[in-house]
Structure 1
Amino acid sequence: MTSSQVINKLSSVNNGLAIQPIARIKHPSREGICISMAARHFINDPTHLVNAALHAVTLANPSVALDGPNKIIYRRPAKRGWDVQVSLVSGGGSGHEPSFAAFVGRGLLSAAVAGTIFASPSAEQVRTAVVDRVDGSEGVLVVVMNYTGDVLNFGMAVEKAKASGLRVEMVVVGDDVGVGRKKGGKVGRRGIAGTVLVHKIAGAMAAKGATLEEVRKVASLVSENVVSVGASLSHVHVPGRAPPGPNDSDETLSKGEIEIGMGIHNEPGSHRVRAELPQIVKAMLAQLLDLSDEDRAFLEINAEDNVVLLINNLGGVSVLELGGITAEIATQLKVDYSIEPVRVLTGTYMTSLNGLGFSITLMRVADTGLGSGNSLLELLDAPAEAAGWSATVATETWMEKSDLVRGSRAGGAENIQPSGLKFDVIQARKALISGLDRVIAAEPDVTKYDTLVGDGDCGIGLKRGAESSTLITPSIWSQALQNSVDSLANYTPAQPGDRTLIDTLHPFVITLSRYGDLKRAAKAAREGADSTKGMKASLGRTVYVGGEGWREVPDPGAVGLAAFLEGLAEGS
């Protein structure tokens, strides 16, 4: 089944998760257009932004220096003299950080040349880097992504350097399968995140003292065995530019749309869809691995191959969500393609400013033919002293792949002594269920209150806890709760009158201990919760909330606890 067939099949599923290809049309108005890109920035001057960001790279790594006028980050000469090795030079438009400047350092790039945002550096900038800012005694390898301006300017610089007597080679990387053969034409595929694997492996080879021909061979080998594709929820806004207008449909995505194959400069992808993550990943993997898709079958990868998986954050995805994306990708690779990657790299390597998207890169581990210690995996794992390289797991750790886990403390279960307490399980369950049902029912009110005086998560947190709680013992509530209150005092200074759930818990415990009447105690708890309305907070998030909204509502946690205790009383 081709990737287009996958999309069409998913489109036929009549539910909210189905992928639905969307035609590119000019919208007559802004209605239906979702301007979700962040058009606000802390630094709005793009020139100052690029210069400051390059300066920051030198602050994070003292082994590199900045040629400001030419926007070149380069390795400083070692005190013992120039490091004698093949020099590796790359670069491109700014906006893809940490690529390329933050990849300059031992074991990676020797220099990186920056253009303005999303624009190639000039040929003169690149010539300066190759001729003046790196050691050319062992030769220079230039690695550039396949964009017309970059290839032209870097190529001109290479020719000028050769004319001056230097030995210089150039490798062009085009790994993006989002652009098929028909659309790519003579230009070919764009270079995206797979390029960083070329940088890392070629840089490690150069650091080992390899010849220029060997470094070029390894860089070309990686380039030929890597494929990538991206997806994004929105286009990005370049600082200093006006936001897109009402008729700029190619620069915006409607609500719910995701663009598959979007380039790292806002270039269009293969299609737009409405889908959830599993369907998005399914379509992306089909573009990467479907050999029957004549337009995109650029690399044959089989279950028998060793594969490196790189999941790249385009800049705006949270670490938490990128973890969920990584798990989904790895699961589908294993289940649908029987591929279990021998290396998994996940993080921020090549961005599109603050792009709300990610890319998937697969590298087939080919034989370098250069003997022991020079395999692609060993070169990938080799240490690198560059601020932007975040893969730190050693080869030995990957090879061991320990399946050992830590269990419970030795003898822990055997040492637990029975308490001798007895209780009515049926009655306890009835009371507990009643209490939890009341907490669930109270969620809308608690959420409303917490939206005004906190961060809005109290209600849903209590509801989730209620929906997954287990059995407790009503016959010893009084003693247990009193012990709990005493223990709480070790970790919080909260007292009645501080506008916390203690204003509910304290009267409940006191009343239950005094009268042994659960309903009476629950009534006291509710009165305590109600008393927090208008009470100035001494603890909790409400302390930091501005305005006067807290005067109109009770404490959310106190209300949620009161609802639970009332439910317990009703079910007893």
Structure 2
Amino acid sequence: MSVQSKHFLNTPESLVLDSLEGLCTINPRLALEPQNKIIYTKPHDRSKVALVCGGGSGHEPAHASFVGEGMLTGAVCGLVFASPNPSQVKRGIELVDNDKGTVIIVKNYTGDVLNFGLAKEQYASIHPNKADRIKFVVVGDDVAVGRSQGAIVGRRGLAGTVLVYKIAGALANRGGSLNEVYNISQWIASNVVTIGVSLGHVHVPGTAPPTSHLSDSEFEIGMGIHNESGNRRVSPVPPLHNLIPHLLELLTSTTDHDRSFVPFQGKDDVVVLVNNLGGISELELSGVVAATRKALDACGFGTLRLLSGTFMTSLNMPGFSITLLRLPTEKEKSAPPATLILSLLDEKPDVPGWKWSSGSSPLPLPTQITPPYKQEADAAPLAKLKSLDSNAFLENIKRAAHGLITAEPDITRMDSIGGDGDCGLTLKAGAEGVLAKIDDGTINGDDVVRSMITIATVAEEAMGGTSGALYSIFFSGLAQGLQAQASSFANAEIWGKSLVLALAHLYIYTRARSPSRTLVDPLAAFIEVFQEKSFTSFSEAVKAAGVAAEETKNIEAKAGRSAYLESERLIADQVPDAGAWGIKTILESLQV
């Protein structure tokens, strides 16, 4: 996949500070010390333990957007993917000074551990009376790097760090002691695991564009959050129902000693965090959530909380991570009670970066499908109209459907330039739906009225959107026209008159009239010529439709998806309308 190397910014050098200023504009309860890039609460409650975190920027909303009541007291920010220096961190510790003590929480990266650790030691040497009131917690939750490979550096800190922030911050906000906050931080950090996957890498503002990247068919398992490569490339990208169980095996395996970091027992209760690494859509992320829940259920885990959203990113990386926090059993006397952990997790912090969560366990997944809608018993019977040649009728429809499927890449390309990019896939979905109805016998030449109604329903349900509605209206109108014919067989004249009626029905619901750079152009051209030739020259009508579709390359858009775009560019590039090309494809695939 290509890497996005364009960004909205003033300068790469000012990006981090500009972002922190924007955060303080959003949340007036925050203060910013710009020279050290420190976000902190002001004033902060000196009777409560303070939590300080930080690291390189580029992981937003972590870390600065988690500063506020109920979570973090301060965050020290470095440049993108670069740790802040010890002087910055030491100043951050000074700004949150209090009567109860401070817990520093860092991700396990060499720069963060060294710079925050050095700052802690310097602060303690300058303030020996406070040396015992400052604690240090390192979070390493990545399971991609095994014990043997990471023997010296240990596991990287990933999105599981956010759960440590949240739970420890809530306990500090309740008035927990320094040791209580420190101990629960350590326990959560020791029982959390994360794995990341991505379809590609990212570009750091101000650097040269990368020269290598993953191919369109590859993805990586074991991604970190500093644009480092994963430990494994896989091709092709599998469906989620195959990928997620593999990721859960990496997270929870107790048989792979090299990666068995948390003492899962099997059928454990867990907290799940599905994290957007920055560049995947909410639509995809929710699909990941559903697949994760199903896979956990299949493995016998009890999902007591499920969080989803953007928590810790790698700029705009097109990937996600899954974090599991193992909850303790009642037999683990030295562990904090699971009820306490969940209650701390459920408390709503007053910070801009925390995502909404239900505060309850997910409901059981549905096991029954709602029965399909049945037509009312008193509906009027449909006229039964047969095709003159049932086999030819079905073969024509199959050819049209396969024609759309074959043309999908070209139609998608056209629509990516002149529309929203979904026309090819929409038409392909409709074509596949029609072929399925042919296979199950619902569409057949012995009942063309019912067949047209079925195609209208497929367009409505499988295609959706504007194209689906237009096709469904047209085929519903075609069915009405066929029903109105006093005949037992559908000949060319009956089809032609019904097509005229269907177009009239379509005109009720769309303002598009030829020439408009829409699917109406070739459709109207076909029907008008077919009618002019007394429904006897199908080939001439198809030719007229093809000409009309080709001519959309030269037409200024007045309706449809292209009306919002720069017409001169579309004309200069000679891009035809994708919807019109779909109609052309269908008609040219038909034979009589």
- Specify the SS of the correspondent of 2:350: coil
1:183 paired to 2:146: no
String of CA shifts for 1:234-284, please: whole Å, max 9, x gaps. 343322233457xxxxx7556755443232223454344434335654553
Could you tell me which amino acid in structure 2 is paired with residue 151 of structure 1?
V
Q: Look up the SS of the partner of 2:8 in the other structure.
A: coil
Deviation of the 1:516 alpha carbon: 12
TM-score (norm. length: structure 1)? 0.79
Alignment of 1:392-471 (within 5 A): 392-395=357-360, 398=361, 413=374, 417-424=378-385, 431=393, 434-435=396-397, 437-441=399-403, 444=407, 446=411, 450=415, 453-454=418-419, 457-469=422-434, 470=437, 471=451
- 1:85 equivalent to 2:56? Answer no
- 1:119 lines up with 2:119 in the alignment: no
Q: CA deviation at 1:292?
A: 1.9
1:10 aligns with none
Shift in CA distance, 255/423, structure 1 to aligned 2, threshold 3 Å = closer
* Gapped regions of structure 1 (runs ≥ 5): 1-33, 246-250
The AA in structure 2 aligned to 1:315 is G
Q: Give the distance between the partners of 2:30 and 2:414, measured in 1 at CA.
A: 52
CA contact (8 A) 2:525 2:541 kept: yes
The 5 Å alignment of 1:62-141 reads 62-77=28-43, 82=45, 84-132=47-95, 134=96, 136-141=98-103
- C-alpha distance in 2, partners of 1:254/1:517? 54
Corresponding position: 1:227 with 2:193: yes
For 1:300 and 1:425, the matched residues in 2 are separated by 68
Structure 2: how far apart are the matches of 1:193 and 1:399? 21
Partner of 1:561: 583
Q: Which amino acid aligns with 2:400?
A: R
Q: In the alignment, what sits opposite 2:556?
A: 536
Q: In 2 relative to 1, CA 555–37 (structure 1 residues): closer, same or farther, beyond 3 Å?
A: closer
Unaligned runs of 5+ in 2: 438-450, 454-477, 485-497
Worse-matched range after superposition: 400-409 or 222-231? 400-409
Matched residues in 2 for 1:417 and 1:549: separation? 52
Q: Return the match for 1:143 from 98, 105, 110.
A: 105
> 5 Å matches for 1:275-314?
275-277=236-238, 281=244, 283-314=246-277
The one-letter code of the counterpart of 1:274 is S
SS at match of 1:69: helix
User: In structure 2, how many angstroms separate the alpha carbons of the residues matched to 1:378 and 1:508?
Assistant: 66
How big is the alpha-carbon RMSD for the aligned residues of Structure 1 and Structure 2? 3.7
- Give the drift of 1:363: 0.9
| Superposition deviation, residue 303 in structure 1 | 3.2
Aligned 8 A contact 1:507 1:521 in 2: no
Native 8 Å contact 1:530 1:554 kept in 2: no
| Structure 1 CA distance for aligned equivalents of residues 105 and 82 of structure 2 | 16
Identity value in percent: 40
- 1:210-238 deviation per Cα after TM superposition (whole angstroms, max 9, x unaligned): 22222222111111110112233434332
Partner amino acid, structure 2, of 1:435: I
Of 145, 150, 168, the match for 1:202: 168
What is the distance in 2 between the residues matched to 1:556 and 1:252? 31
Query: Which residue of 2 is the match for residue 3 of structure 1?
Result: none
Mapped to 2, the partners of 1:499 and 1:243 lie a distance apart of 38
CA contact (8 A) 2:221 2:232 kept: yes
* Of 99-108 and 58-67, the range deviating more from structure 2: 58-67
User: How many aligned residue pairs are there?
Assistant: 521
Any idea what the Cα deviations from partners look like across 1:104-134, whole Å, max 9, x if unmatched?
Answer: 12221111110122222122222222222x2
Aligned match of 2:452 in 467, 472, 475? Answer: 472
The residue number in structure 2 matching 1:26 is: none
**Secondary structure in 1 matching 2:452:** coil
**Which residue of 2 is the match for residue 496 of structure 1?**
514
Please state how far the C-alpha of 1:143 moved relative to its aligned partner: 0.9
CA distance in 2, matches of 1:234, 1:373: 37
Residue 198 of structure 1 deviates from its aligned partner by: 0.5
Which whole-Å CA distance do the structure 2 matches of 1:295 and 1:90 have between them?
Answer: 29
Cα 1:405/1:89, change in 2 over 3 Å: farther
Distance in 2 (alpha carbons) for counterparts of 1:418 and 1:191: 64
Q: Relative contact order (alpha carbons < 8 A, sep ≥ 6): 1 or 2 greater?
A: 1
Deviation at 1:100, TM superposition (A): 0.2
Match of residue 366, structure 1, among 328, 343, 360: 328
Which letter does structure 2 place at the counterpart of 1:148? T
Aligned residue number for residue 342 of structure 2: 377
Deviation per CA, 1:187-215: give whole Å up to 9, x if none. 32221111001011111222222222222
2 CA distance for matches of 1:484 and 1:77? 70
User: Any idea what the Cα deviations from partners look like across 1:264-323, whole Å, max 9, x if unmatched?
Assistant: 223454344434335654553333222222211111223321012222222223333333
SS, match of residue 343 in structure 1: strand
Q: Aligned AA for 1:270?
A: N
Distance 1:225 1:210, change over 3 A: same
Q: Is the 8 A contact 1:518 1:569 kept in 2?
A: no
Amino acid at match of 1:111: G
In structure 2, the residue matched to 1:391 is: 356
Shift in Å at residue 519 of structure 1?
5.6
1:536 and 1:225 map into 2 onto residues whose CA distance is 61
Say which SS state the counterpart of residue 375 (structure 1) adopts: helix
Residue pair 2:306, 2:362 contacting (<8 A) in 1 also: no
- Cα gap change, 1:189/1:316 in structure 2, threshold over 3 Å: closer, same or farther? same
Partner of 1:347: 309
Tell me which moved more, 324-333 or 192-201. Answer: 324-333
Larger deviation, residues 296-305 vs 422-431: 422-431
- Work out whether 1:152 is the aligned partner of 2:118: no
- The alignment partner of 2:36 has SS state of coil
Q: Secondary structure at the match of 1:341?
A: strand
Matched-pair contact (CA < 8 Å) for 2:219–2:237: no
Provide the rounded CA distance (Å) in 1 between the counterparts of 2:541 and 2:365.
Answer: 55
Q: Which moved more, 1:340-349 or 1:279-288?
A: 279-288
CA spacing shift, 1:110–1:374, aligned 2, 3 Å: farther
Contact 1:453/1:550 (8 A) holds in 2:
no
Change (3 A) 1:311 1:550: same
**How far, CA to CA, are the matches of 1:139 and 1:222 in structure 2?**
20
Query: What SS is found at the alignment partner of 2:303?
Result: coil
Is the Cα contact below 8 Å between 1:447 and 1:457 reproduced in 2? Answer: yes
Asked if structure 2 preserves the Cα contact closer than 8 Å seen for 1:86 and 1:209, the reply is yes
Distance in 1 between residues matched to 2:425 and 2:365, nearest whole Å: 38
Alignment counterpart, residue 216 of structure 1, candidates 168, 182, 189:
182
Moved more, 295-304 or 251-260: 251-260
